Amino acid sequence: MFKKDISPGAKSKVKSSAQRAIRSKVIEQYPKLEPYIDDILPKKEQLDLVKLPDRVSLYTLGATPLFFQHMDDPLLPHLTLVHKYPDSFQLLRIDRGAIRFVLSGATLMVPGLTSAGGRLPDDDADEEGRYGDEDLEAGEVVVVEAEGKDHACMVGVLKVGTKEMREKKKGIACEAGHYLGDGLWGLG
């Protein structure tokens, strides 16, 4: 989505009612963020809406980007936010070989997740239960970590459910996300 460098468009203040709506939406979508919601979206602070190309809007608090949204799609967290609260999102993991492709903006393919280094929910190799134990449906927002790294490298929306992934082991897993070093990252 943000493969090229982007120049931010008009910045405007978010109405406080809209701000409240965003807040409740965030809690609804990411229930695990709730304990920190006052740190992320303080009630009294003024949010800004930055318009980006291709009808993407980015919500920022001061200079820190928080969430972005394409039209009325679900709110996606900016990676800096993910890095701050990594455990509050649904995580997946890719193997090492896939990192360099993801970081150059390629579509995330299923084999990167199903191979030995990758992790899907309810994975046998996942002893801590870090990646959850319920299969995910297509359309869910996931944060993608990488094998051997502490921080997430991508945020995206699933194209196929994780169950299907495990059966087919090929094809597209996650398209048009926000990855480390892309245009959106450059803004932050």
- Give the closest residue to 66 by CA, choosing from 56, 80, 53, 52: 80
The residues binding another protein (CB under 8 A) are 7, 32, 35-36, 39, 80, 83-87, 95-97, 99-100, 103-104, 117, 128-130, 132, 147-151, 153, 180-181, 185-186
Provide, rounded to whole angstroms, the least separation between the CB of residue 169 and another protein: 18
Residue 37 DSSP symbol:
H
In sequence order, what DSSP letters do the residues of 84-112 get, joined into one string? HSGGGS-EEEE-HHHHHHHHTTPPEETHH
Residue (87 or 124) nearer to another protein, CB? 87
**CA–CA separation, 111 and 166 (whole Å):** 9
Residue (95 or 160) nearer to another protein, CB? 95
Provide, rounded to whole angstroms, the least separation between the CB of residue 179 and another protein: 10
Cα end-to-end distance, the chain, whole Å: 16
Residue (6 or 160) nearer to another protein, CB? 6
Provide, rounded to whole angstroms, the least separation between the CB of residue 83 and another protein: 4
Q: At 159, phi and psi to the nearest 5?
A: -95, -35
Provide, rounded to whole angstroms, the least separation between the CB of residue 153 and another protein: 7
Residue (92 or 99) nearer to another protein, CB? 99
Q: At 133, phi and psi to the nearest 5?
A: -125, 10
